[in-house]
Structure 1
Amino acid sequence: MASTEAPWHNAFPAPRTTKPESRSREEVLNMLKLTQGSERRDFVIVDVRRNDYEGGSVRGSINLPAQSLYPTIPTLYQLFKAAGVKEIFWYCGSSSGRGTRTAGWFADYIEDKDDVEMKSMILAGGIKGWVAAGGEYTEWMEGYDAAVWSKA
């Protein structure tokens, strides 16, 4: 039986930026390696999964579920700006739904602030692509659980 409930994102405006920039997992992994042990990074990785937040996440990423993110964008922007963040990488399972939507919302906010120093991008392929790329990538995960991914 199909649900007649409206999608969660209908409660918020559609992002103007519908195709945000992206970074490949290779590029993001390289950035993680280059900043390993560093006290400061100029990028943040955000995992926007909620119900499917299992099996691990990219090391150092923060979990901010997409369903509750929109109202917090002004505060997140202020925090990221104060911390000197230049790039934010958003991901979900595949980065084709929630990841793209949240990256678009944040890109719109950056644009509205006339900020040319900060970028909001998706992690291409999301966490599924990260895991599928093999051991070099799963080593850079927190809470990696191979059993969860073998079911996917």
Structure 2
Amino acid sequence: MAESQPWYAAYPPPRSEPVALKREDVLALMRNKVAGRDYVLVDLRRVDHEGGTICGSINLPAQSLYLSLGTLYTMFKAAEVTTVIWYCGSSRGRGSRAAAWFADYISDHAGGADTEMQSVILEGGIKGWAAAGKEFTALMDGYDEDVWKAAS
């Protein structure tokens, strides 16, 4: 019986090493900038915001992301978004892979000329955000404390 491959094996490995933003930096960004215009938060979890999601996030499950990179770049560029922040549970798997793929796309398709848009991960992911206290959970849509207690 053949071993099944992980979902990301169908796509090229990322070449970039993603930059991580600390949750405090994302919090400051949320307080001083406009979601959807200055930055976009992308929740890569497949479970549709289970336990809540960071306010203003869009849900794009990582398993379907790679083939949408071009469309996302075009939309984000047209909206003049400067920072795309990717996260999953911990931002060590799907989050870092997505941020790196998007950074690679920016580099490959903008010929290195796009210095205005950056692709980053949320350090610690949504788990770190939810565990950081009320200042952070207050900025979650659909926050369910019981989900995060069970996850710890």
Q: TM-score, normalised by structure 2?
A: 0.92
The alignment status of 1:129 with 2:128, answered yes or no, reads yes
- 2:142 matched residue in structure 1: 143
In terms of mean alpha carbon deviation, does 3-12 or 21-30 score higher? 3-12
Partner amino acid, structure 2, of 1:141: M
How far has the Cα of 1:39 moved from its partner? 7.9
Q: Could you tell me which residue of structure 2 aligns to residue 25 of structure 1?
A: 23
**4+ residue runs over 6 A deviation:** none
Q: Find the aligned partners of 1:39 and 1:136 in 2 and give their Cα distance.
A: 18
1:4 offset after TM fit, Å? Answer: 2.6
> What is the distance in 2 between the residues matched to 1:39 and 1:90?
13
One-letter amino acid matched to 1:12 = Y
The CA distance in 2 between the partners of 1:98 and 1:61, in whole Å, is 16
Q: What amino acid sits opposite 1:121 in the alignment?
A: V
How far is 1:41 from its partner? 3.0
Q: Distance in 2 between matches of 1:40 and 1:15?
A: 25
1:96-115 maps to which residues of 2 (within 5 A)?
96-112=92-108, 113=110, 114=112, 115=114
The amino acid of 1:119's aligned partner reads Q
Residues in 2 aligned to 1:39 and 1:123: alpha-carbon distance in whole angstroms: 15
Task: Determine the C-alpha separation between the residues in 1 that align with 2:87 and 2:132.
Answer: 15
Q: Residues 4 and 53 from structure 1, CA distance in 2 versus in 1: closer, same or farther, beyond 3 angstroms?
A: farther
In the TM superposition, what is the alpha-carbon distance from 1:22 to its structure 2 partner?
1.2
Letter in 1 for 2:106: I
Aligned: 1:4 with 2:3: yes
Which residue identity does 1:33 align to in structure 2? R
Query: Percent of aligned pairs with the same residue?
Result: 56
Distance in 1 (CA, whole Å) between partners of 2:36 and 2:43 is 20
Gaps of 5+ in 1: none
CA RMSD of the aligned region, Å?
Answer: 1.6
State TM-score, norm by structure 1.
0.92
Q: Say which is worse superposed, 49-58 or 87-96, in terms of deviation.
A: 49-58
2: distance between equivalents of 1:39 and 1:129? 20
Q: Distance in 2 between matches of 1:51 and 1:137?
A: 21
Q: Note the residue ranges of structure 2 that are not aligned, 5 or more in a row.
A: none
Which amino acid in structure 1 is aligned with residue 143 of structure 2? Y
What letter corresponds to residue 107 of structure 2 in structure 1? Answer: E
Q: Judging changes above 3 Å, is the alpha-carbon distance between structure 1 residues 40 and 144 closer, same or farther for their aligned structure 2 residues?
A: closer
**Cα offset for 1:31?**
1.0
Equivalent-residue separation in structure 1 for 2:146 and 2:74 (angstroms): 38
How far did residue 52 of structure 1 move? 7.2
| CA–CA separation in structure 1 for the residues paired with 2:88 and 2:134 | 20
* Cα distance change of structure 1 residues 83 and 91 upon mapping to structure 2, 3 Å threshold: same
